[in-house]
Amino acid sequence: MSTTSAPHGARLVLATHNAGKVRELRALLADAPGLQGLDLEAAVRDAAAAGCPVVAETGVTFEENALIKARAVADATGLPAVADDSGLAVDVLGGAPGIFSARWAGAQSSDARNLHLLLEQLADITAEHRGAAFVCAAALVTPDGQETTRIGRLEGTLLGAPRGEGGFGYDPILQPTGETRSCAELTMAEKNAISHRGQAFAALREHIAAALQGAGQR
């Protein structure tokens, strides 16, 4: 049941309070078939603009958390909703930090503390066993209950020390496969072209476009 009023002109809500993520999604959809001429600035809005509260991520996988957020926003607004959840999966840690990536260092977690703790935990692990990947699950939920998810992965190797000033989180210590630089040493355009999040949303793009078209016909 819808409990909030969606912004005028909105057709889809991205379950985030991060304006940058909304801009990324609009850019991805800009040349999608069937959406030419659609005012994506008005049609694709964020959860804050729709008056949705932050949703607790209580799932145990990236996919579950993405679906939890998308379901909550679709239910609250009566519009199709898109959400994502992502993190770092380290091979020798059995996929951890995983869904706990943002709070790996505990109650006082920060990007710097999380990164420092992970490097300490891997201090004795040799380069050939430092495989890891950034993983993202993206989910689309429509008001009639249809659910679609896609996964993106950016494979690489963890460095022994941070390199680069760009990006955020664990970017300074993941060197993508085939690269000589860390994610934090790539330009924003270079990173976006190979990112786990970009892959997941690109795979979901045709479904999002269809949901936008359907929302406009109701």
Nearest 10 degrees: Cα torsion 202, 139, 148, 37: -50
Helices 196-217, 19-29: inter-axial angle, 10-degree rounding:
70
Q: Give the span between the Cα atoms of 179 and 168, in whole angstroms.
A: 18
> From CA 119, how far away is CA 161, in angstroms rounded?
7
65 annotated ligand-binding residue: no
Residue 53, pLDDT score: 83
Is 86 known to sit in a ligand binding site? yes
Residue spans per domain, the chain: 12-217
pLDDT of residue 10: 86
Token readout for 81 is 């909703």
- Annotation-wise, does 170 bind a ligand? yes
Measure the CA–CA gap between 52 and 90, rounded to whole angstroms: 33
Q: Are 22 and 60 in contact (CB under 8 A)?
A: no
Give all strands (DSSP E) within 5-130, no chain letters: 12-14, 44-46, 81-90
69 marked as binding residue: no
What is the amino acid identity at position 60? Answer: V
**The CATH number of domain 12-217, selected from 3.40.50.720, 3.90.950.10, 3.50.50.60, 2.40.50.140:** 3.90.950.10
Q: Take residue 85 and report the two structure tokens written for it.
A: 């959840």
H or E segment and range at residue 155? strand 147-158
The answer to whether the CB of 214 falls within 8 A of the CB of 34 is: no
| Active-site annotation, residues | 85
Q: What is the pLDDT of residues 25-69, one digit of tens each?
A: 888 888 888 888 889 989 999 898 888 888 889 999 999 999 999
| CA gyration radius, the chain | 18
Q: Establish whether 169 is an annotated binding residue.
A: yes
Query: What share of the chain has pLDDT > 70, as a percent?
Result: 95
**Could you say which DSSP state residue 97 is in?**
B
Sheet containing strand 174-176, strands side by side: 44-46, 12-14, 81-90, 131-141, 147-158, 174-176
Backbone angles phi, psi at 122, to 5 degrees: -105, 10
Please report the pLDDT score of residue 5 as a whole number: 59
**Which amino acid does the sequence have at 153?**
R
Give the closest residue to 12 by CA, choosing from 86, 98, 70.
70
Q: Is position 197 annotated in a ligand binding site? A: yes
Is the distance from CB of 68 to CB of 121 less than 8 angstroms?
Answer: no
Per-residue pLDDT reduced to its tens digit, 174-207? 999 999 999 999 998 899 889 999 899 999 999 9
Residue 119 confidence (pLDDT) above 60: yes
Cβ atoms of residues 137 and 66 within 8 Å: yes
